[in-house]
Structure 1
Amino acid sequence: MSHLYLDESLDLAAVAPGATVALTGDEARHAVTVSRVRAGERIAIGDGRGTLVHGAVASTGARELELEVDEVLVEEAASPRITLVQALAKGDRDELAVQAATELGVDAIVPWAASRSVSRWEGPKAEKGRQRWATIVREAVKQSIRAWLPAVAPVTTTGQLAERLEGQRMLLLEPTATALLTDIRPDGRDLALVVGPEGGISPAEIERLVAAGAEPVRLGASVLRTSTAGPAAIAVLNAALGRW
């Protein structure tokens, strides 16, 4: 299996087998000095926008390598898309959710400052937190060798969710809901999974989101942690959408 390296500045859509692609900067440095990639090894390079090129490394330098392309894979953007709205959570539970969701194929991630979130992203911490999640997403994309790099939105309040998710079908993961996620049938709209923090989604937030069109659904009889609920739901949707 090829190792994947990402360079969003590359325009790989125009690359054909037989071409040479140069990887430079920090990503090349990591490949050469950390991963010890050497000439002759087979790797993949992606642009995060649907194209992966595979081939053998032709040469390496301290902060660069050249790849002789022998295969180009182009993947269309998923439709319908799946967005994970992940509530901020204490410890690394929200980060675990983001990592697993990315490996499972989520298309976008929205950090949510829920009323019961213990963790708070305020002031400069808001962008720092978003960048941290974006780094986790990027590494998960590389690990799972995905062609598309999901975007991580700025932290969003409950009041902003409806506007940010306009046009999407909001599925509110709520253990007390009567409707089962496994009974949901896709209707063509993009899907947004809303996952609460450790203390759950407050009654006021549920009321507000339902008024904005959200559908409360549950995964089953057990109550999952915030770190596992989103990835579990994405797995269910992957099957329903025919991705798996």
Structure 2
Amino acid sequence: MALHFLLDAPVTAQPGDDVHLTGSEAHHAAAVRRVRVGETVTVGDGRGVVVTGECISVSPREVVVQIQRRREEKAAAPRLVLAQALAKGDRDELAVQAATELGVDEILPWQAARSVSRWDAAKAAKGVARWSAIVREAAKQAHRAWVPSVADPVKTKDLAARAAASVVLVLDPDAETALTDIDVADAREIVVVVGPEGGITDAEVAELTEAGAAAVRLGSTVLRTSTAGPAALSVVNVRLGRW
């Protein structure tokens, strides 16, 4: 499969036009991935456009791709959203990376009650930037036409507010309802809520379910915060017929 690269601006090029990779993306293509003149690559803008072309000039400062084909992909519907609780170490980052590969459209960093990691204003800006960088690289690896967005950190009340217009699924190993029993066919947006290492508190589950969210379980085991979200998204993808 051809290597995939991303531009920060909309791709307007048509077949026969040239696209120029510059800056860090050119360096990554030439010095890290070692693309060569004559090699076929794909270039996207993260907004639904993907073009395929041949490298006609390669250097660490600029890679020029002559476009042969152009594809425009509509945004997926329903939207998939991961509300990932902040977690210690890199467990939340692993969840964000895998969720991006699995087709999530938006990621909400959630400051849950039991989150060991705490983001103040300064840490929040750095955290969102870090998660956004992880999302971008994972989207490139997965050849995604749309790059997910990373929102500013949210609180439980913000997730509860989403339940008014979205299907909000709270992953709870003690829930009576299985995720596979939830009808998601007509949803406009599906939000999967994943707690931190210590789990979601009873108060958080109550606040979310009282707002209209559904508490659901995944099988009979307790999954890590890094795997619960991706596992749930896999189930949802199957239920939506995407897999």
* TM-score tier after normalising by the smaller chain length: over 0.9
Query: Distance between the aligned counterparts of 1:48 and 1:165, measured in 2?
Result: 27
Query: Distance between the aligned counterparts of 1:215 and 1:112, measured in 2?
Result: 17
Shift of 1:100: 0.5
Name the structure 2 match of 1:183: 181
Residue 174 (structure 1) aligned with residue 172 (structure 2): yes
Shift of 1:52: 0.8
Name the structure 2 match of 1:214: 213
Name the structure 2 match of 1:142: 140
Query: Distance between the aligned counterparts of 1:239 and 1:104, measured in 2?
Result: 11
SS in 1 for 2:144: coil
Name the structure 2 match of 1:40: 38
Name the amino acid aligned to 2:2: S
Name the structure 2 match of 1:224: 223
TM-score (norm 2): 0.96
SS in 2 for 1:128: helix
Q: Unaligned regions of 5+ residues in structure 1, if any?
A: none
SS in 2 for 1:78: coil
Deviations 1:180-211 (A, max 9, x none): 11111222321000000011000111111111
Query: Distance between the aligned counterparts of 1:118 and 1:164, measured in 2?
Result: 24
Name the structure 1 match of 2:2: 2
SS in 2 for 1:156: coil
Query: Identity of paired residues, percent?
Result: 55
Higher mean C-alpha displacement, 178-187 vs 95-104: 178-187
Name the structure 2 match of 1:17: 15
Name the structure 1 match of 2:239: 240
SS in 2 for 1:72: strand
Counting only pairs closer than 5 Å after superposition, residues 84-95 of structure 1 correspond to structure 2 as 84-95=82-93
TM-score (norm 1): 0.95
Query: Distance between the aligned counterparts of 2:231 and 2:240, measured in 1?
Result: 14
Over the aligned positions, Cα root-mean-square deviation in angstroms equals 1.3
Indicate conservation of the 8 Å contact 2:160/2:207, yes or no: no
